[in-house]
Amino acid sequence: MEVFKIIYSVLGGLGLFFYGMKNMSDSLQVVAGDIIKNAINVLTNNRFFAVAVGVVVTMLVQSSSVTTVMVVGFVNAGLMNLLQAIGVIFGANIGTTITGWIISIKIGKYGLLLIGLGIFPTLFGKSSRVRQIGRLLFGIGLIFFGLEIMSTAFKPLRKMPEFLDMMSFFSGQNYSSYIACVLMGGVLTMIIQSSSAMLGLTMALATSGIIQFHTAAALVLGENIGTTITALLASVGGNINAKRASLAHATFNTLGVLIVLSIFPYFVEFIDWVIPSDPNLLNAQGERPNISVHIATGHTIFNVTATIVFIPFIKQLANFVTKMIPDKKGEDDNQLLALGVPATFMAPTALLQAEKEILLFRKKVDEMFLLARDYMMNDKLEAWKLKEIKNIENEMDILQKDLTVFLSEVIQKDLTEKQSLEAQAILRLADELESVTDYLDKFAIATTRFKEKVPLQGADKEALLEFFDRSHKYFLSSVGTSENLTSMDADSANEQAKMLRREADNMRELFMNKFLKEKFPPLLVMSLTDMVVSLRKIVSHSLNISQAINTLNNDPD
């Protein structure tokens, strides 16, 4: 009966710990969403800056797994290169050490107080920020309360001979025991998919007096290997670079652990020297009050040192994983339809991912404009160009659908008012861009019908070509041509759209009157006017695009 009580108490405490971590992480993501988004958005090839981004993001979300899965998703979409990804992963390993320091604080008995202080603003706070701060306190309280429950549950194990006999092998001061602990830490972390939870369990076992510091330190090393499984799983089904990024994470952590394991006794002694108090000291209650700080210090020293040692060799690591996972013929690493699973993304980075996809969408629409222009310029029927235009239009239909599904799931997350408006603006952008491709396709089809009868020549062709170019230019002004989505101001966009639509109406009427007088077949006249109408519709959708981008870039009042 005692064993059953220990099991359900540990599981209950672990459940509270998990739920607390999720609440703390989610609330931090909402409060610091803009910081996270801006940090990733300005990422460069500077390896030190990439590491800093990884540290900041992981400290804010309190999960290296979330950061690495996000990185794999960005690499899979072609929005982050391999060197940037490796740098961010290095930083994530440092950022996750803050979790160890949070749970090493000796305020477990105040967990219920923090839960009480946090629940009221969470439920009754009038502003989103107040509610999220309350949720943050609530989450931290659950973490400490869960750890307190686990620590209390482990105490009876100190008097169980069967458990102590089993643990004797892992407690030995020899390499067999060290390796066994590393393997145990790795396997358990792979199973529960959270190095933070395993770190909490390790600290609970250690503070309860069940294991000594050297055993805890070896378990923590194993946890650093086990946590890489999350990114490896996330890369399944991804492209070559996504697999390489996850392999780089696993390689970096494994090599770091092997190096430290080779000098493990000296590593433990060094931590004891940095933190003077005896980690294995037992108090009157049979607990080890000093060991948590030693574990957090060891975790930090390992990850910081490994990152410093490996930073000069980022390119070599990238080359290594490239050789391990070579390119395959015919595989395009710059995928367009690679949004990933919304559940694996933080709200701000999910929105950034969707925004970057819109930039790829914009590029494809611009290609479609150039194809349609070339198709109109040549009097001959070029079936391959018409087919390519149709292929892009179909591709954009799929992207618009995927982006809508993706953002519909993101909107269900806990978003700030600004993030909600951003999601709605991106949805509108996807819809308007897809509409532009529809009308470019219709323009090309109408051009085909006209070419089959008589080529458009002379001043009429020049007038239509000039209006096509102006419509294209207006589209580019509305959607921007820089690395970010930018647009013209609202007044200028409205004035230009009004002028272009008026000119389109005049041109349509002029063409209709002229060709009817010249006794052109009515179907042919309608085809030519359809081309003008398609361009007019493109101008209208470009105006809507400009409005959506301005909404995206402006803060809500």
Asked whether 361 and 399 are in contact (CB, 8 A), the reply is yes
Domain 342-553 class, CATH top level:
mainly alpha
Question: Structure pTM?
Answer: 0.71
The pLDDT-based confidence of 535 (bands split at 50, 70, 90) is: very high
Asked whether 146 and 160 are in contact (CB, 8 A), the reply is no
pLDDT at residue number 337 = 45
What value does the mean pLDDT take over residues 236-262? 86
More confident residue, 341 or 464: 464
pLDDT, tens only, 187-232: 988 888 778 888 888 888 888 888 899 999 999 999 999 888 877 8
pLDDT, tens only, 117-176: 999 998 888 877 788 889 888 988 888 888 888 888 888 877 777 776 777 777 888 888
- Residue 540, burial from CB neighbour count under 10 angstroms (0-12, 13-18, 19+): middle
- Give the separation between CA 218 and CA 175, rounded to whole angstroms: 10
Sequential DSSP letters for 173-232:
SSHHHHHHHHHHHHHHHHHHT-HHHHHHHHHHHHHTTSS-HHHHHHHHHHHHHHTHHHHH
pLDDT, tens only, 362-409: 888 999 999 999 988 887 778 888 899 999 999 889 888 888 888 888
What average pLDDT is seen over the chain? 83
Sequential DSSP letters for 276-316:
-S-TT---TTS--TTHHHHHHHHHHHHHHHHHHHHGGGHHH
pLDDT at residue number 336 = 42
| Domain limits, the chain | 2-324, 342-553
- Residue 74's nearest CA partner among 60, 54, 95 is 54
